Structures are given as C-alpha cells and as structure tokens.
Amino acid sequence: MFTLYSYDRMISGLSYYTWEWILLIGAFLVTVIASTTMNSTFKQFSKVQSKTGVTGREAAARIAYHIGLGNMLISPIGGNLTDHYDPRNKSLSLSQSTFNSTSLAALAVAAHECGHAQQDAEGYGPLRLRSSLVPVTQFASSFSWILIVLGLFLSIGPLCTLGVVLFSAVVLFQLVTLPVEFDASRRGLRFLEETGLIMPDEKAGARRVLTAAAMTYVAALMASIMQLLRLFLMTRRRD
C-alpha cells in the first residue's frame, strides 16, 4: 500500500525544496511550449488563404445555419485568439485575427467555436459539468493560495491541507475541459467539410490548427497537476 512514508522514500534522492523548483519550472516550460506551438501554428496558417475566400464571420454564420443555430449572434472582440462562445447569451465572439480574415486558421477557429455552440444546444454532458464547476473553480483558484500561505505562515497544517484540496478543484476543471475542447475541434473539422468551407487538400492544415489549440488544454492540465504536487510538497516540507 502506498503511504506517505513510501512517498517520502520515493523523493528522498532530492530535497523537497529541489522538487518544488523542478515542478515549478516544469509547469512553466509545459505552458510556454504549448503556447508557443499554438501561436506558431496559428501564425503559419493565418498566412494560408482558404480557397473558398470566406471570412471567419461568414464561416461561423454558414456553420450556424447548417447546425440549426442561424439566429446566433456573431460579433467581433478585441485581442488575439480571444475567440469564444458564451452559453449565457448564446453568442459567438471572434477576435480580430478571425472575424474578417479569410485564412485557413480563421476558418478553423470559427468552426471550433461553433462546435461549442452545438454542444450547448445539445446539452453536451462534459460542457454542462464544466459550466457547473466554474463558480467553484473561481473560488478555489482565488482562495487556495491564501489558505496555503496563511497555513504556512501560522504553522496551521489543516489550513494548508484545505488550500491544497481547494486547488484540486482547479485540476478537476482542467480535466473536464479536455473532452469539451477535443470534441469541439472534432465537430469543427466536420462542419468545415460538410459545408464545403475547405477543400480536401486543406483538411490537414485545419486539423493542425485545431489540434494545436486543443493541446494547450492538455498543457494546462499538466501544469495544474505539477502545481498541485508542488503545493503538496510545500505543506509536507513545512511539516
């Protein structure tokens, strides 16, 4: 049976402090690599114009009509890669790099967000679960660190433990997010094909954009797990 004693033996080759830094740096590197890959892939395919010449907004409108959501509001939003679907008002916001762009990257991103819109319309289970976890996650991400810092400063072990448990909610949220994002990308690629927005030889490029976007959420989960382990080590080191 795995115990704290066996856990301590497992990491005994290095100090708790060293492992904390390894996990911190690991989380940082995973996040940076995923973000760099996504930005690089998007930049590459934002220079590849789609053969249909359709803008991201037009693509989203065509897909929305195709999936029975023709009345969905589609509007521009500032920033880069800030595209998102808002289930509260059933609207789609496309960033400046997507809204009026005719690139293959813009079409892929617009289709991905339409995937979220269809998930919402169908009551897709993982999406509903993720939405229900948002308030808990927001609370946990804000207060977990406060509890841990107070617990360490005041030498109150249960306070540290509560903080670590709260941060676990963040990891759970990231885990639930994965099927939501991968499914939206799968739907998006199918939409692009079904509506004739991409040609057969453009499918590989669109898939690369969608895969790179989804992998950022895998990286976020890995970084959160590393951060959770680091917090656990911090509390164990204090003990």
Instruction: Let me know: does 115 contact 188? Beta carbons within 8 Å.
Output: yes
- Rounded distance between C-alpha atoms, residue 5 and residue 106, angstroms: 52
Any catalytic annotation for residue 20?
A: no
Burial class (CB in 10 A: 0-12, 13-18, 19+), 70: exposed
- Rounded distance between C-alpha atoms, residue 119 and residue 114, angstroms: 9
- Give the Å distances, CA to CA, from 72 to 19, 109, 117: 49, 16, 9
φ/ψ of residue 89, rounded to 5: -115, 15
Catalytic residue among 113, 122, 193, 194: 113
203-238 and 16-46 are packed helices; what angle lies between their axes, rounded to 10 degrees? Answer: 160
DSSP symbol at 5: H
Which alpha helices (H) appear in 101-156, and where do they start and end? 104-122, 125-154
Active site residues: 113
